[in-house]
Amino acid sequence: MYPQLVHFGRFFLPTYGFLVALGVLIGLWISVRNSQKLGIDPEEAWNLGILVVLCGIVGAKVLYIINDWSIYAANPREIFSISTLQAGGVFSGGLIAAFAAAAWYVRKHHMPALGTCDAFAPGASQPDAATANRLIICGGWSSPIHWRIGLRERH
């Protein structure tokens, strides 16, 4: 079980973060390749993919802060603290922000909406595949149900 891929002094590279980043890059590469095959400008596809990833991260973090607003209203400096930046986000906030950004970009650049969705759909699954691998590599446990993976409790 390898929760840290590399460790040098105080610096470490978490396996989970590395696998998700790798999944995002592979997903973008697949999406751009598919876009080229469908006649969509690859530069616009890269820009769309990067915009969607960044807006997803920001949207997830914004909804995270909104959900815990009572804490952040009392201490506004906590919004920009290291602990808040290292904390996760709320999936639905990221999803809404990513879809809104994608819709805006596709419309602004006159990209074919359905063709763009077709091109990006296979690549969008790659970060989730990296997350599933993370569960196994970092100490996940198997289940009698073949498609289910869980985490062990740390003591």
Name the average pLDDT for the chain.
Answer: 84
Using pLDDT thresholds of 50, 70 and 90, give the confidence band for residue 102. very high
* 147 has pLDDT over 50: yes
Q: Which residue has the higher pLDDT, 1 or 80?
A: 80
Output the 3-class SS for the chain. CCCEEEEECCEEEEHHHHHHHHHHHHHHHHHHHHHHHCCCCHHHHHHHHHHHHHHHHHHHHHHHHHHCHHHHHHCHHHHHCHHHHHCCCCHHHHHHHHHHHHHHHHHHCCCCHHHHHHHHHHHHCHHHHHHHHHHHHCCEECCCCCCCCEECCCC
Q: Could you report the per-residue pLDDT of 43-90, keeping only the tens digit for each?
A: 999 999 999 999 999 999 999 999 999 999 999 999 988 888 878 888
pTM over 0.85: no
Using pLDDT thresholds of 50, 70 and 90, give the confidence band for residue 141. low
Please state the rounded mean pLDDT for residues 13-29.
85
In degrees, to the nearest 5, what angle opens at C-alpha 87 toward C-alphas 83 and 92?
145
What residues have CB less than 8 Å from 119, skipping those under 6 apart?
A: 31, 34, 35, 37, 38, 40, 45
Q: Could you report the per-residue pLDDT of 107-129, keeping only the tens digit for each?
A: 999 999 999 999 999 888 776 66
The C-alpha atoms of residue 153 and residue 155 are separated, in whole angstroms, by: 6
Report pLDDT for 135: 59
The C-alpha atoms of residue 83 and residue 95 are separated, in whole angstroms, by: 23
Using pLDDT thresholds of 50, 70 and 90, give the confidence band for residue 155. very low
Length of the chain: 155
* 137 has pLDDT over 70: no
